[in-house]
Amino acid sequence: MSRFLSPEALRLDPYTPGEQPRDQQYIKLNTNESPFPPSPKVLEALSRAEVEKLYLYSDPTCAALNAAIAGRYGLDPENVISGNGSDEILAFAFRAFCGEGKGAAFADITYGFYEAQAALFGLEAKRVPLREDFSLSVEDYLDFPGTVVIANPNAPTGMTVPVSDVRRLLERDPERVVIVDEAYVDFGAESCVPLVREYGNLLVTQTMSKSRSLAGGRVGFALGDRELIADLNRVKYSFNPYNVNRLSLLAGAAAVEDEAYFQACCRAVRENRAWTVEALERRGFTVLPSSANFIFAKPDRIPGGELYRRLKEKGILVRWFDKDRIRDFCRITIGSREQMEALTERIDRLLAGE
């Protein structure tokens, strides 16, 4: 670091993304990407003619993309904001709804970006321990006066919170915002989007990185009361008005329009997840119940960190967190059936001492 780094920046503990090594070909099961390419409609939308328009700024209102998203979820465009991935939307939300005297509460084991954003904005953060079985109890948040952030399904566990429990949070204190991060909701969890029209204090964030195969396109969005969306736009236009590039706007709208392809990809991931869970449990693994495109698994014959390292040596990447309570687990993205078969074959060989 340079001598110019501010004391405030020095105190930050940045979020650590999953590995993206280039030293060899890997089976990548570590960053929760889709194993499938984008919809054919996306490829059609990204024509040469559109690429040649890159000398022009993108639409700062994201009007076409917002309209497509609104139509898909039965909302109005004013209920939608699009961003450079849902991470950017979350950053807007932390800045919009938290501040002096109003902190944020989130689980102690959850998406690390929340912690990083709270630190970046100098916010008071309350870390609420998950229960012994890694479930999240809304009882622990009912009386928190600030913004509540819940990943549902949670990462890295894959476990969910019932929508009825989220409703309890919303009704307990209408004067606070509840953010439900639904990055993985399309793989089997119940969404809170239907509650958006009922509650003015609910913000639901989603991403096209996972279920719509656009991780490299960086397209995320939030759904909420139009006043909440206006608040987020106030932050956006104070930071980066042209936040979604021209090609990603086109790709996102095209991906939303191809419902059949979206459903087929999600169904394949769910099927491969069930196959992988059953295969690992037969090999003595403990696997938490997951509604995401990943599983959180603990081997019984090898430490989690060792499993991660030995798989990496053999060309398979999974995610391991060197943290209390979850050090024995590995998070494994659900890929194609061929990838999951390669994973279990390699695990068999490791357990056999090879």
**SS3 at position 208:** coil
For the chain, give the percent of residues with pLDDT over 70: 99
d(CA 332, CA 318): 5
Give the residue extent of every domain in the chain.
9-37+260-351, 40-258
Signed CA dihedral, 270, 271, 273, 277: sign only: positive
Q: Which whole number is the average pLDDT over 47-56?
A: 96
- Only one residue has tokens 């494994």, namely 332
Question: 332 pairs with which residues across the strands?
Answer: 295
Kindly report the average pLDDT of the chain as a whole number: 95
Beta bridge partners of 102: 99
pLDDT exceeds 70 at position 340? yes
> Residue 14 has what pLDDT?
76
Has domain 9-37+260-351 been given CATH number 3.40.50.140? Answer: no
Of residues 101 and 93, the one with the higher pLDDT is 93
| Block residue for tokens 């309890």 | 168
Q: Is the pLDDT of residue 5 over 70?
A: yes
Mean pLDDT of 35-45: 97
Quote the strand ranges of the chain, DSSP E: 27-28, 80-83, 104-107, 125-128, 147-151, 178-181, 202-207, 220-224, 286-287, 294-298, 316-317, 319-320, 330-333
- pLDDT, one tens digit per residue, over 141-150 is 999 999 999 9
**Mean pLDDT value of segment 194-212:** 98
Q: Give the list of residues 6+ apart from residue 12 with CB closer than 8 angstroms, or none.
A: 116, 119, 120
pTM of the model: 0.95
The reply to whether domains 9-37+260-351 and 40-258 share a CATH topology is no
Cα-to-chain-centroid distance, residue 221: 11
Give the model's pLDDT for residue 24. Answer: 60
Q: Which CATH class is domain 40-258?
A: alpha beta
pLDDT band at 9 (very low <50, low <70, confident <90, very high): confident
Give 241's pLDDT tier (boundaries 50, 70, 90): very high
In percent, the amount of the chain with pLDDT more than 90 equals 91
Average pLDDT over residues 158-167: 98
